[in-house]
Amino acid sequence: MGTMEGLEVTECERCPSLVDCRQQIVNGTGSEDADLLFVGEGPGANEDEQGEPFVGRSGSVLDDKLRDEGLSRADVRITNCVRCRPPENRDPTKTELSNCREYLNREIELVNPDVIVTLGKVPSEHLLDRNVAVTSEAGTTVNTELGGKIRDVLICVHPAATLYDRSQESTFESAIGKAANMAESSGGQSSLGEF
Ligand code: URA
């Protein structure tokens, strides 16, 4: 019912209501051996149209903050909990999240990041398997087993939160700064600053 070739899901019909509305499956993007993996909730309208995660306004916020840290999208990996757009931008259901989990697990295993940054409540709760108060927990790191290894998961607010509430901007900025430092001190993230 689903085909994954390397990091790409090429075919999947596990979630009939998403299959009916999607334009395409939106796979992760960026480096296949990134030290930093960003996980969002699911594709929105822009992502569904362009076939790449975080290409709308949230994506610009993320790109800007990465650039401030000397990183580009190509240096990191960016993916979502679900790869098909939930209609009307609703949250993915528990079933949809679990249908897509195998693909996310495989991406984590293959990319093998040192740090996973969860962008917002849905990915934070999905990967940590508990309730998360994202605003108050943003910037905190949790060690948990994902993709066959204990990894650092850094909780972060969703980039869109900074658009609705300016006070979230510094929370977002410092979490991204922390993620970049953690990846750098773990030894590998290539940085534009080196060139
Ligand atoms: N929001 C998400 O969570 N993911 C995207 O890819 C775009 C917006």
Domain boundaries, given as residue ranges, for the chain: 7-185
Given a cut of 50, the residues of the chain with pLDDT beneath it are 189-190, 192-195
Q: What is the per-residue pLDDT for 188? A: 60
CA of 162 to the centre of ligand 1 (A): 14
For residues 120 and 157, is the Cβ–Cβ distance under 8 A? yes
pLDDT tens for 53-87 read 999 999 999 999 999 999 999 999 999 999 999 99
Q: CA nearest 139: which of 126, 125, 152?
A: 152
Ligand 1 contact via 92 beta carbon (within 6 Å): no
Q: What is the per-residue pLDDT for 183? A: 87
- Whole-prediction pTM: 0.95
Quick one: 7-185 is in which CATH superfamily? Answer: Uracil-DNA glycosylase-like domain (3.40.470.10)
CA of 80 to the centre of ligand 1 (A): 7
Among the atoms of ligand 1, which is closest to the Cα of residue 41?
Answer: 3
Q: What is the per-residue pLDDT for 192? A: 47
d(CA 116, CA 38): 6
Q: What is the per-residue pLDDT for 194? A: 46
Ligand 1 contact via 44 beta carbon (within 6 Å): yes
